[in-house]
């Protein structure tokens, strides 16, 4: 496993070591001991989630607030997405900055998103399966987020506007300027 910095503190690209031969490939998608040793961060995850989406879907930008805040380790097992993490920690020097990366079944990259970030992704392929590990349990009452097309964040989701598919729930999210500390 290799770790690469993103420019946002503790938001990390994880590059697994892949063993390939004529039969196919094998890689360890997560190892708590290795993760903690290489990052200095907690690798204790308590919930795994999976989503399946079609081209043009944009999910986000989501987080959980307060004691239910979550760190996430995300990856794609089918297709390709543009994954976006936004630092919303008020004391952070990169507050309001975002990092975007293409995650795909082909590149097998993963992104670690620490607590204090909002997160979302857009589906760039015909379909995509997206997996994420969370270090805290889902709590509906603590859900928060920011509208995906916020003018201050100015995120390019790489999906033409006419092809964007966003849930009614996500369309009701507030602008970044109205986000309360998470």
* Residue appearing with tokens 């003018």: 151
Distance of CA 86 to the CA centre of its chain: 9
62 among known catalytic residues: yes
| φ and ψ of 111, to 5 deg | -125, 130
Three-state SS for 39?
Answer: helix
Strands, E assignment, the chain: 2-5, 12-15, 18-21, 24-27, 47-54, 58-64, 72-78, 80-87, 98-104, 110-113, 117-123, 127-134, 143-145
132 among known catalytic residues: yes
CA 174 to CA 178: how far, in whole Å? 6
- Active-site entry in 25, 62, 98, 112: 62
CA 118 to CA 97: how far, in whole Å? 11
Structure tokens at 5: 């910095």
Structure tokens at 45: 């995850």
- Active-site entry in 98, 119, 132, 148: 132
Catalytically active residues are 62, 132
């Amino acid at each position: 496993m290799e770790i690469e910095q993103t420019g946002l503190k503790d938001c990390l690209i994880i590059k697994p070591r892949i063993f390939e031969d004529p039969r196919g490939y094998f890689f360890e998608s997560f190892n708590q001991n290795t993760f903690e040793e290489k990052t200095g961060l907690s690798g204790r995850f308590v919930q795994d989630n999976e989503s399946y989406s079609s081209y043009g879907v944009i999910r986000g930008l989501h987080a959980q607030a307060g004691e239910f805040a979550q760190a996430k380790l995300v990856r794609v097992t089918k297709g390709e997405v543009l994954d976006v993490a936004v630092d919303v920690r008020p004391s952070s020097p990169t507050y309001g900055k975002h990092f975007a990366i293409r995650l795909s079944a082909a590149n097998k990259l993963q992104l670690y998103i620490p607590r204090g970030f909002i997160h979302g992704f857009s589906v760039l392929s015909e379909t995509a399966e997206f997996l994420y590990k969370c270090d805290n349990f889902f709590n509906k009452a603590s859900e928060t987020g920011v509208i995906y097309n916020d003018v201050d964040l100015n995120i390019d989701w790489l999906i033409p506007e006419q092809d964007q598919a966003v849930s009614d729930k996500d369309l009701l999210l507030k602008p970044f300027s109205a986000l309360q500390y998470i």
